[in-house]
């Protein structure tokens, strides 16, 4: 039970950091670089559109770090733990994104089409990255 709580804790921290970086990057583009916002242009806005290629990078850096931190609490890490972490983190992300960015309406919410069609290939790459992150962390632990 303790390990599951830590798995979820490190997931929430990683997700929050990645989300904050993406939001701050968009705000930077709009306020400092004077790119158009969602209100000022079609679709998701230039400020957000320009951040999309970076989203996978945020995830490939942040999620393996927190998987590594999580695995550091184990005496030994097994493939089963890595696979379970991958399955849980990736699946929770898909569900959380659906509710947090599509179903629950807020100023930055997107339509289903915007999030799952127009956000391609980035959203797919992000999900692959999150599912892969525990394996990346495990590989680093094994070879470093």
pLDDT digit string (tens) for 58-72? 999 999 999 999 999
Distance of CA 42 to the CA centre of its chain: 25
pTM over 0.95: no
Residue 144 has what pLDDT?
Answer: 77
* Each residue's pLDDT expressed in tens, for the chain with a length of 144 residues: 668 999 999 999 999 999 999 999 999 999 999 888 877 776 678 888 899 999 999 999 999 999 999 999 998 999 999 999 999 999 999 999 999 999 999 888 889 999 999 999 999 999 999 999 999 999 999 887
Burial class (CB in 10 A: 0-12, 13-18, 19+), 16: exposed
Residue 105 to residue 53: CA distance in whole angstroms: 24
What pLDDT score does 24 carry? 95
Q: What is the DSSP letter of 74?
A: S
CB contact at 8 A, 69 and 109: no
């Amino acid at each position: 039970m303790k390990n599951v709580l830590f798995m979820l804790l490190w997931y929430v921290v990683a997700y929050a950091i990645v989300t904050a970086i993406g939001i701050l990057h968009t705000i930077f583009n709009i306020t400092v670089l004077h790119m158009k916002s969602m209100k000022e242009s079609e679709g998701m806005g230039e400020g957000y559109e320009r951040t999309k290629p970076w989203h996978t990078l945020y995830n490939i850096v942040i999620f393996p770090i927190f998987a590594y931190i999580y695995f550091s609490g184990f005496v030994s890490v097994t493939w089963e733990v890595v696979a379970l972490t991958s399955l849980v983190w990736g699946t929770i992300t898909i569900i959380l994104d659906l509710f947090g960015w599509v179903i629950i309406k807020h100023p930055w919410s997107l339509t289903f089409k915007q999030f799952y069609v127009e956000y391609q290939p980035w959203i797919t790459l992000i999900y692959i990255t999150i599912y892969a992150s525990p394996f990346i962390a495990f590989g680093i632990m094994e070879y470093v």
